[in-house]
Every structure is written in structure tokens, then in C-alpha cells.
Amino acid sequence: MIERVIILLAMLAVAGLPTRALGQSTNGLAEAKEEATNRRSLKELAAKTYDSLSASATNAVDWVKKDWEKIGAWKYKITTFAVSDASDAALESKLNDLGKEGWECFWVRESQAGLTLFFKKPEKGIIAEALKHRP
């Protein structure tokens, strides 16, 4: 609420409208100087508020662009299990752990050294998550 009042007063000052209550007079040089000082202060406040809002809007646009780029993007992970470590129970446990973290195994390569598993998972982004849950 207070922010709205400050912005309204700043807009009145920028427009050159009086900020005193209706019915009050501005007689005297001291009161005129005070009114001019207040008007300058309000103009400065309006400029600072505008700059702050502009920076916030720019930051928001940058954030949306970065988050939007995550849609359809993947992270990759390669894990090798030595022949001695490749028991079914050990492999199953490791795959379950990786699955809980969101990793999907999409390729397995067998060699004399053991098994090399290739995993992928989608980049997390707020926009992508919101799109998944829309009606």
C-alpha cells in the first residue's frame, strides 16, 4: 500500500501537480521553496523507482529467457561399473539411486573392463514444470 502512495506522489510531482491537500495555500517564499524542494525530492524518488522497476523487469526477462532455454535440454552422465562390481544387486541398487535423482539409462556398453552406462535427465526449469501441469 505504501509503495502505491509513494508512486502516486512521485507521478504527481513529475506531472507538476501540487502535492499539498486541497484548500491549503502556498503563500510566502519559504513555503514556495519548501514545495519546490519537495517536488524535486519526489521527482528524484520517481526516477529511482522507475530505474528500480526497469532493472527488475530486465532481470525478470533475462531469467525467463534462461529458464525457457532449459525446455527440451538434457543433462548427461556416464558411469562405469567394473566387472567385479557388476553384481546384479549392486547394479540394481545404483540404478535405483540414479532413478530417484531423475536419471534415465539410455545406452549400455559392455567391455572387458565392465559395463558403461549412459544416463540423461531433463534440465529442471520452472516454466517446463508449469507446462507439464497445465489443464
From the list 51, 42, 2, the residue with the least C-alpha distance to 20 is 42
pLDDT one-digit tens code per residue, 8-64? 555 555 555 554 544 455 456 677 677 777 777 777 877 777 777 666 667 777 878
Cell of 74: 538434457
Helix (H, G, I), strand (E, B) or coil at 80: strand
Which helix (H) or strand (E) element contains residue 121?
A: strand 114-122
Write down the pTM of the prediction: 0.48
CB 19 within 8 A of CB 42: yes
pLDDT over 70 percentage in the chain: 70
In the prediction, which pLDDT does 51 show?
72
